[in-house]
Structure 1
Amino acid sequence: MKNIFLLFFFLLSLFSFSQEDNIDGLEALPKKEKPPIDLYKIYTLEKDTTFLDTTLSIQKEYKFNMLRKDIFGLLPFANEGQTYNTLNFGLIDNTTFPNFGFKAKHFNYLEVDDIKYYSVPTPLTDLYFKTVMEQGQSLDAFLTINTKPNLNFSIAYKGIRSLGKYINNLSSSGNFRFTSSYFTKDKRYVLNAHFTGQDILNQENGGITSNADFESSEAPYDDRAQLDVYFRDAKNLLKGNRFLIDQSFKLSKNNPNSVVFTHQFNQEYKFFEYDQKTVSSRFGNSFSNSIYNKTRYNHLYNKLGVAYKTKDYGNVEFFVDDNKYNYYYNSVVYDNSGNSTVPNAINDRINNIGGTYTYFAKNLVAKLLVSNAITDQSISNIEANATYILNDDYNFAFEYQKLNSLPALNYTLYQSNYVDYNWYNNFKNEKLNQFKITANTKWIDLSFNYKIINDHLYFENEANDIAVLKVKPKQFENTINYISFQAKKEIKFWKFALDNTILYQNVDQSSNVINVPQIVTRNTFYYTDKIFKKAMQIQTGITLNYFTEYYANDYNPLLAEFYVQNQTKIGGFPTLDFFINAKVRQTRIFLKAEHFNSSFTGYNFYSAPNYPYRDFIVRFGLVWNFFQ
């Protein structure tokens, strides 16, 4: 991976050098007129297209983080590159096929839907840099080029290394991605492909052993490295490689009504490992004097479809897919009588048949998807959505999903050198009915989410003690009703603005298996102006983040999963961030004093019951776009 990283920067330097106006004292050639910014296109496999945005806005402030997206509803842990606790339950998605599991390690793992494809008139580079908590940096470097109008390549690498403020708290990860897009000149054949290689390593300390020492923050505990932690030599690693091809071929060359054949191929290999040299009694008894668990996963997916696309009546497609996976360990677990109690593998093949219908009108886009397994597994999915754009000020969206999905694989099978962490279960499918309604207007943006959940799967600590972790997968057989409302509104006056986002959540359940804060809010008051003869745009302000107290899920590093607990509440603490951002040409500079109120509002801030949230820290960075 390091060699790929060096090669990428070598190529990047060549392209950067080629953009200089004057080389070796030669007179600069006349500059060509720059292409319009809307020719720099970014799109997904679903053909959702956006354009490169080099402006400085409050949304850019929200997205200036390692994930490169707005993380409202996610609560980061103390070190950059660690996991996130989920405040907004509406952010949790279910999938039809059984996923690998180990969800807490996947926030920074780029899935198929996270990969973007490009079409650019000139080479485009995007550089992201941000300082971290201690001894390291976060970097995301990207380059894309069209060698021909119909052939694009992109290469990128995102890396982070941060030692952190606490004992055994290092984060180190790398996300390499390469994409290619091609279409014939008559656009009958279209190809998108990508490769990703990703590794996400975290030292895991299990949290602090004394919340009282942290909350006092008196010497020596104001130095967070003096706080005792549960594990001093534990770490976990998620690593994966994926290769995907998505292609289509249209039979008719000129007729807008035509049959189109589609194909998608996806091959992925992942593994998750937990390494601990010293056995901890916190996880109970063990089979060995040191712990090394490794879970492997192979996935092969093919989807074939035939569609009939029309100009006036929409598009209809029928498809069949083949999903083959192997989730496995290298050993079998036996009981004292010599009987096998936990097998070493789950492998299966699932075939689905389904169809989609997409209708386009002047202001309306509607889509219906139906799929059902034709093999032995009882899984199905129905999705319906519609978007109506009245004008630039008003648009509305409706989504419905009915899903019958298989459990994540680590709920069914898990093996460990710790005795209590070995299981083989036969859970029922999870069932979900979900409704979403969104209204974006010039007055306010509103969204409503309602979920009806049956046979919900979750992890729970059977020990009911934060100092003892006997976490097992469970299934809740009763119905759960979840409802949320979210409102967003930005109020502007002269050069000042107040940006507000508030989320309300409520859960109706007979036992507390889904715990959420009732209120989550973010409010930003900021000022924007241009200075230095309008050569620089500045943006400065204060952001308040707050969520009400609740029984937050706690984190288990052995499983890389969050588990339900109902003993300790967190929340009720405000965090204030002061920021000064600037834009010069295509460069955006960010400076932030994060959680500057930590010393005078009390040290009772946590990301999980025994994982403190971040102390006050000043961080800076930049995003730089440049063109040839």
Structure 2
Amino acid sequence: MRKILIITILIITCVNSFAQTMMQSQYGTSASGMSSDRFDRNGNPIDTTAVVDASTVPVGLSSWTIDERFGNRIQVPVDTLQFGFQNSNDNGGPTGHFTHLGNLGSPRISHVFFERKETTQEFFTDPYSFSYDTPGTVKYTNTKSPFTNLTYYKLGSSRRAEEQFKAYFAVNVNKRLGFGFDIDYIYGRGQYLNQSTAQFNGNLFTYYHGDKYEMHFNFINNNYKVTENGGIADDRYITHPLEMADGKRVYKSYEIQTNLQDIWNKNTGYHAFLSHRYNLGFYKDESSENDTIVKEVFVPVTSFIHTVKVDMNTRRYISQNDKQNREYFQNNYLGNDSTDMTKYMSVKNTVGISLREGFNKWAKAGLTAFVSFEHRRFSMTDSINGTPGQFMRDYKENTLSVGGQLIKSQGKTIHYDVLGEIAVLGEDIGQFNIEGKGDLNFRLFNDTVRLDANAYIKNIKPTFYYRHFHSKHYWWDNDLSMITRTKLEGKLSIDRWRTQLQAGVENITNYTYLDNTSVGYTSSNDARTKTYKNDVAVRQNAGNIQVFSAKLRQDFKLGILHLDNEVVYQKSSNSTILPLPDLVLYHNLYIRAGLAKKVLTVELGADVRYFTQYYAPDYAPAIGQFYLQNPETRYKLGGYPLVNGYLNIHLKRTRIFVMMYNLVQGTGERSYIFAPHYPLNPRAFKFGISWNFFD
């Protein structure tokens, strides 16, 4: 970690110096790009174009991501925000919505159903949403001077520490052309045995914004290695620690026995993405209300769009302990020394033509038609132990789809985006997606009120790895029906009241999930002991499942005292197949004050994360996925308040926090276990520091 940190700082320093010299000679004193919008806690935009304090956000600095279908820009905040920095690398999410295995970078799944993303073809990296990069998450930056951010986090002592180092660099060659890179390295040694995580994410990006030609490109590399321990051998080490040593001692976390050892899941991924378009239009003279200088502005009328996305992932499962394999798992389809590996590759091209919004007073909305073709290839082991000629088998799939989009993004009052797509040929024929979202903004009692709505109806073919999977311990080939999902959701936001109310309902037909089919048997040396050997199967529920969810965010402020609150209520119509906690809560009580002429901002407080008890998903280490608990051994988890106390400091370009994690450990049953047999980290000291450099 220290070597990576030093080398990265040296590289960034050299590049930064060169870029500053280059920009002084070529860039001039003005910058083009998008306005520097930032967003409040409710996700509503705040105009910061008037900000002139270079210690916060320099004029001309803006950031955005792009959608992977058309390459449209989506504005995001520049990484200079001071609020909530102490929660910016919490594996459970900033408001504690995720079940995870404890260690930083470990697999996770949200308690809140509406936040769970659909299973993708990159099946094995879906649970690593905390850190996994995709082309749609890459942040592009337009800046008058080189922009650099260095961030470092650490929890616990060096022997068992979790560490994360992040570096971001962006520079413009001129007003239209920019490039940069992003590095994210996680090394979690683990507070418990056989639990380490080592993850590297790196991406390179560039863009060009001309009047007639626009382009975005990024290349991403992901490398994940996670040690699987199968959870602790007995939950009483956490829930009733004195019982485990006849009241004589309490075991340290790294002394607790785990179910597995010497097992690893490794994922290596590469992503390349190019989006570009050619615009037809005309130039017109334009001047602002306070500026008498007339400028020639290009107005696009029609755009020809092309995007290409290439994804590759190799997943290896490594376990060579034959005794352990036989005792813990129900099946061992491959030899002990065999390679348990699967590969995935996808190439997707999308071409479209767009009539642009706003090129004249009659063009109130933009209209886009597009065609997509995707080729997918999967490779996996295809012979069972004892069968001669073990080999890798390829599965190839092709899909052709067509669609259209109607969008209105300009103006202040109403915006909407409606998109439809249907697969007309290939593996996914019959799959379709119709989705729409919109917002209405208006003034009420001298306040701004925003109404948002989104809805969709989807007919989805289950991902390949639900249909086919061959490995050391799990083996299936399934003929699955299409999944139908229908959702309607609305949101009311009142900024002045610091209020946001959101509610929605979703219906799912043929809900597809991973079931726990572990088989129990009676131990030969103790007739009272029943042991279960791990097994997993894919299931579909032929009926309908409805999920209702409502969320309230309400913040209060009295002088320097703040109380932020979030309450989520949800209900599943089939809690056996789709268990959910009824309530998910987050509360943050703190004081916030500006010192030294408001150059220094200090936050001192504590927050709590809580969810009601439910049959939380179990975790299958041999596939790296969450699945249902075994109905014969299942038990409820939750009802534990995870409390963190913190001090957050923002001084000009530097952010620092110190935190005591899991403050209430030692009270009640101490049941800080969110996934079966996987406790969270015990009480530990944590800190983080982030520097921004604008020149």
TM above 0.5:
yes
Q: Is the 8 A contact 1:517 1:550 kept in 2?
A: yes
1: distance between equivalents of 2:194 and 2:4? 28
Task: Tell me what 1:617 maps to.
Answer: 684
SS at structure 1 position matched to 2:430:
coil
2: distance between equivalents of 1:372 and 1:78? 41
1: distance between equivalents of 2:489 and 2:382? 45
1:614 and 1:290, CA in 2 relative to 1: closer, same or farther beyond 3 A?
same
Q: Is the 8 A contact 1:105 1:560 kept in 2?
A: no
2: distance between equivalents of 1:41 and 1:196? 22
Give, in angstroms, the shift of residue 569 of structure 1. 0.7
Give, in angstroms, the shift of residue 101 of structure 1. 4.7
Does 2:240 align with 1:216?
A: yes
1:224 and 1:64, CA in 2 relative to 1: closer, same or farther beyond 3 A?
closer
1:532-556, Cα deviation, whole Å (9 max, x unpaired): 4544211010101111000000001
2: distance between equivalents of 1:220 and 1:489? 44
Q: 2:351 aligns with which of 280, 288, 304?
A: 304
Q: 1:160 aligns with which of 154, 178, 186?
A: 186
1:49-97, Cα deviation, whole Å (9 max, x unpaired): 134253422x434334469x635411332211212232111111237x7
Give, in angstroms, the shift of residue 387 of structure 1. 1.4
Q: 2:569 aligns with which of 504, 513, 523?
A: 504
Task: Tell me what 1:422 maps to.
Answer: 475
SS at structure 1 position matched to 2:299:
coil
Task: Tell me what 1:283 maps to.
Answer: 329
1:319-377, Cα deviation, whole Å (9 max, x unpaired): 000111001115344998x999x993321110110000112444111111011111042
1: distance between equivalents of 2:594 and 2:398? 59
Q: 2:594 aligns with which of 508, 512, 530?
A: 530
Does 2:535 align with 1:470?
A: yes
2: distance between equivalents of 1:478 and 1:247? 43
Q: 1:379 aligns with which of 419, 431, 437?
A: 431
1:344 and 1:220, CA in 2 relative to 1: closer, same or farther beyond 3 A?
farther
1:250-297, Cα deviation, whole Å (9 max, x unpaired): 122427361110010111110111101203221124232346411100
Task: Tell me what 1:227 maps to.
Answer: 256
- The residue type equivalent to 2:682 in the other structure is D
Give, in angstroms, the shift of residue 111 of structure 1. 2.0
2: distance between equivalents of 1:40 and 1:463? 55
1: distance between equivalents of 2:241 and 2:3? 43
Task: Tell me what 2:11 maps to.
Answer: 11
Task: Tell me what 2:142 maps to.
Answer: 119
Stretch deviating more after TM superposition (408-417 or 219-228)? 219-228
1: distance between equivalents of 2:616 and 2:394? 33
SS at structure 2 position matched to 1:167:
coil
2: distance between equivalents of 1:150 and 1:108? 30
Task: Tell me what 1:28 maps to.
Answer: none
SS at structure 2 position matched to 1:90:
helix
2: distance between equivalents of 1:427 and 1:243? 31
1: distance between equivalents of 2:2 and 2:74? 33
Q: Is the 8 A contact 2:441 2:449 kept in 1?
A: yes
Q: 1:344 aligns with which of 377, 393, 402?
A: 393
Q: Is the 8 A contact 2:201 2:222 kept in 1?
A: yes
Give, in angstroms, the shift of residue 102 of structure 1. 5.3
Task: Tell me what 2:413 maps to.
Answer: 363
Give, in angstroms, the shift of residue 217 of structure 1. 2.7
Give, in angstroms, the shift of residue 14 of structure 1. 1.9
Task: Tell me what 1:170 maps to.
Answer: 196
- The residue type equivalent to 1:300 in the other structure is V
Task: Tell me what 2:49 maps to.
Answer: none
Task: Tell me what 1:25 maps to.
Answer: none
1: distance between equivalents of 2:614 and 2:86? 28
Q: 2:74 aligns with which of 48, 67, 79?
A: 48
1:122 and 1:93, CA in 2 relative to 1: closer, same or farther beyond 3 A?
same
Task: Tell me what 1:580 maps to.
Answer: 647
1:181-234, Cα deviation, whole Å (9 max, x unpaired): 1022xx111101100001111100000111123323346553112211111111
1: distance between equivalents of 2:252 and 2:153? 23
Q: 1:438 aligns with which of 473, 484, 491?
A: 491
Q: 1:328 aligns with which of 365, 371, 379?
A: 379
Does 2:547 align with 1:482?
A: yes
Stretch deviating more after TM superposition (343-352 or 448-457)? 343-352
1:578 and 1:136, CA in 2 relative to 1: closer, same or farther beyond 3 A?
closer
2: distance between equivalents of 1:154 and 1:425? 44
2: distance between equivalents of 1:243 and 1:192? 11
Q: 1:540 aligns with which of 588, 594, 604?
A: 604
1:423 and 1:373, CA in 2 relative to 1: closer, same or farther beyond 3 A?
same
Q: Is the 8 A contact 1:214 1:221 kept in 2?
A: no
Q: Is the 8 A contact 1:130 1:620 kept in 2?
A: yes
Identity %: 20
Does 2:563 align with 1:516?
A: no
Give, in angstroms, the shift of residue 519 of structure 1. 0.4
Q: Is the 8 A contact 1:102 1:410 kept in 2?
A: no
Task: Tell me what 2:123 maps to.
Answer: 100
Q: Is the 8 A contact 1:101 1:409 kept in 2?
A: no
Does 2:449 align with 1:397?
A: no
Give, in angstroms, the shift of residue 34 of structure 1. 7.0
Q: Is the 8 A contact 2:381 2:470 kept in 1?
A: no
SS at structure 2 position matched to 1:148:
coil
1:589 and 1:291, CA in 2 relative to 1: closer, same or farther beyond 3 A?
farther
Stretch deviating more after TM superposition (283-292 or 588-597)? 283-292
1:132 and 1:608, CA in 2 relative to 1: closer, same or farther beyond 3 A?
same
1: distance between equivalents of 2:259 and 2:398? 41
2: distance between equivalents of 1:34 and 1:543? 30
Q: Is the 8 A contact 1:105 1:200 kept in 2?
A: no
Q: 1:270 aligns with which of 313, 316, 327?
A: 313
1:530 and 1:147, CA in 2 relative to 1: closer, same or farther beyond 3 A?
same
Q: Is the 8 A contact 2:282 2:300 kept in 1?
A: no
2: distance between equivalents of 1:356 and 1:324? 23
Q: Is the 8 A contact 1:132 1:138 kept in 2?
A: no
Does 2:515 align with 1:460?
A: yes
Stretch deviating more after TM superposition (599-608 or 201-210)? 599-608
- The residue type equivalent to 2:87 in the other structure is Y
Task: Tell me what 1:246 maps to.
Answer: 275
Runs of 5+ unmatched residues, structure 2: 21-51, 67-71, 243-247, 284-297, 521-530
Runs of 5+ unmatched residues, structure 1: 21-32
TM-score, L = length of structure 1: 0.91
2: distance between equivalents of 1:350 and 1:4? 42
- The residue type equivalent to 1:462 in the other structure is T
Stretch deviating more after TM superposition (555-564 or 358-367)? 358-367
2: distance between equivalents of 1:4 and 1:544? 34
Q: How does 1:131-146 map to 2 (within 5 A)?
A: 131-133=154-156, 134-135=160-161, 137-146=163-172
TM-score, L = length of structure 2: 0.82
2: distance between equivalents of 1:351 and 1:403? 17
Stretch deviating more after TM superposition (560-569 or 75-84)? 75-84
Q: Is the 8 A contact 1:80 1:132 kept in 2?
A: no
SS at structure 2 position matched to 1:252:
strand
SS at structure 2 position matched to 1:11:
helix
1: distance between equivalents of 2:3 and 2:163? 19
